[in-house]
Chains A and B, each alone.
Chain A
Amino acid sequence: MTRSDGWAATIDAVAIPVLAIVVALVLFGAFVAIYGVDPFAAYGLMFEGAFGSAFSWQNSLLRSAPLILTALCTALPARAGLVVIGAEGALALGGLAAAAVGHALDGANGMVTVTVMAVAAAVIGGAWVALAGALRYWRGVNETIASLLLVYIAIALFNHLVEGPLRDPASLNKPSTPPIADDAMIGAIPGFDVHWGLVTGVLLCLAFWVLIERTTIGFAIRLIGDNQKAARLAGLRLGGYVLVVCALGGAAAGLAGLYEVAAVHGQANASLLVGYGFTGILVSFLARHNPLAIIPVAILIGGIGASGGLLQRRLDLPDAAVLVLQGILFVTILASETMYGRIRWRLPSLVAARRPA
């Protein structure tokens, strides 16, 4: 790759997603305008509801924490060339495992309980997504379809266990697992109203970025993603890497379930399954599967989600407005994939011209 190509790629990586977001916002504005709402009022309220005050920042960050973790479940396998969309299942089963373990260890030391819960959530989540990777590698089953099917199987298992064997008899209206002890709850980051899931997510993003970009394992993973045949010729054992990226991604999504249980709801019930796993796919694609880019993108998407309530109250828009915007955003982002490398930026030509031959 020449230096001017590098420049163009960098500008592409920033400019094209920004352009796609702008196009999506314009389309959404047009949509609400047809509905009879002033689009600029909607934009203003969206900003206010997402990032306008300390309270809305906290709300946005709170929503971004599970999105960062579930996005990693798509991003890591994507670097090895796999499209895995199974985060929702890993989140459900990870959260359920955390709740079950947390209840079983009732009375034990809080720190110990939290640690065991975290391990359980990560292992279950990791194993569930690794299953899709294993099927891909050893049986040639398409990992996208397999991971999607596993999501629905996981949700059914979750519902079955929460409403049956693991149900707290005291939960009448909303079937739930028994609440975990107070000292096993994960608190907020001191000085903020945001739980530690955000810090975990950011740290994991940093760690996975280092793993992918700065280690030989990461180099192997990227090679597999770029050219499977070359990777095979280089003597890489593909199966191991496929399992590792899927398991690590699934473990991250499982941790999202842990924090939803141990930091937000205190028990596992239907409140866990609000689609963080599916929105995480959007975050990962928007970030082009780059772990570092996932952090700001998740905060942005979390902010859009947080602003939904305000749009509903002030402008009388249905709460699905957020879903519409997310859908438009998703489609424009994916369509923009086609633009990479096709725009001739002026800067690269200057850089290229100045470079000694």
Chain B
Amino acid sequence: MSNAAEALGWWGVPLAVIGGAIRVSTPFLFVSLGECLTERAGRINLGLEGTLIMGAMSGYATALHTGSPWAGVLVAGLAGLLFGLLHGAICSLPRVNDIAVGIGLMLLGTGLAFFLGKPYIQPKAPGLPAIDLGWWSSLPQVQAALKINVLFVIGVICAPVMLWWLKNARLGLVVRTVGDSADAARALGFPVIATRIWATAAGGFLAGVGGAFLSLYYPGSWSEGLSSGQGITAVALVIFARWNPMGCFYASLLFGGAGALGPALQSVGVTQGYYLFNALPYALTLAVMIIACSPRRTLAGAPGELGVTN
């Protein structure tokens, strides 16, 4: 990295940011799409941070035992599905606060992953394959930046599909109605509780897959410091994206780029403000919320049943 940056000088910075944006954004993309689906059904799942870490651990362990990274991705998704089911079921009890349950599940998921993941810190599991889109360039930096993981591609396809599905499919309509007005959904005969539970479970599945990307591709190993709060950021990111799946995709790229800016600048010798760059996504989200909210109206695009809007 440092050699590459030396050769290209400051040009290495935007290149590293682009490459980083693609790499770093993938977990953001999956977690935020999952959170987007959950929130469109009217619930907030703050526990996706725990789900992400649980997915990373279970995916890594499965890939190690079976030798197949794709089996790892599947198991990571299923682990996330279970956590989503748990969140969805508990929050369906009357008077239970979904945000607080999320914090509890964040703690539980992290704890379980650290507990069960102890034996997997050392061994090396097979990673996910990447597609070389930078074959045309002789510059190693360009090749590195354009090494695209298959999961990223899947995520990029997922975003418009989810957007279309929410808009046009019957089930998408059910999700939107349940999220906007439980009363209207009930009047139409839609199952409110069941829809929210499965929307949370499906969201958990996506977040688990995002976790598998962390442990199986980038950074590509299991450790307790693996997640740098992507699960938390994703909740903010969905607000930033105004609950639009395509918005989640753009916002993931932006947040990924912001996350990659610190290390990229560090590689050309700018070490000042490294931590401040890490805080950029959070500050950005807070700024968006401050600008977009007002005491008299809710955020544009926010599902009406969401606790976040008032």
Interface of A with B (CB < 8 Å)? 83, 85, 135, 137-142, 144-146, 148-150, 152-153, 155-157, 159-160, 163-164, 278, 281-282, 285, 317-328, 330-331, 333-335, 337-338, 340
Contact = CB atoms under 8 A, between A and B. Distances in A.
Interface residues of B, number: 52
B110 A323 contact: yes
Interface stretch (B21-29, B100-108, B143-151): B100-108
18 contacts: A83-B99, A135-B289, A139-B293, A145-B235, A152-B279, A153-B283, A156-B278, A159-B278, A160-B273, A320-B112, A321-B115, A322-B111, A327-B104, A327-B105, A327-B108, A334-B104, A337-B96, A340-B95
A333 B100 CA distance: 10
B66 interface: no
B289 A327 contact: no
A323 B107 contact: yes
B94 interface: yes
Nearest to A85: B103
Interface stretch (B11-19, B205-213, B246-254, B302-310): B302-310
Contacts of A324: 108, 111-112, 115
B206 to A, nearest CB: 20
Contacts of B235: 145, 148
Contact of A141 (B115, B232, B293): B293
B276 interface: yes
B275 A328 contact: no
Q: Which of B105, B274, B282 gathers most chain A CB within 10 Å? A: B282
B164 to A, nearest CB: 28
Contacts of B283: 149, 153
Nearest to A322: B111
B278 to A, nearest CB: 5
Contacts of A335: 90, 93, 96, 101
Contacts of A322: 111
Contacts of B290: 135, 139, 141
A160 B275 contact: yes
A57 B85 CA distance: 39
A280 B229 CA distance: 19
Interface in B120-168: none
Interface in B283-302: 283, 285-286, 289-290, 293-296, 298
Nearest to B273: A160
Nearest to B108: A327
B118 interface: yes
Contacts of A137: 295
A153 B93 contact: no
Nearest to A156: B279
A327 B106 CA distance: 8
A327 B293 contact: no
A141 B107 CA distance: 25
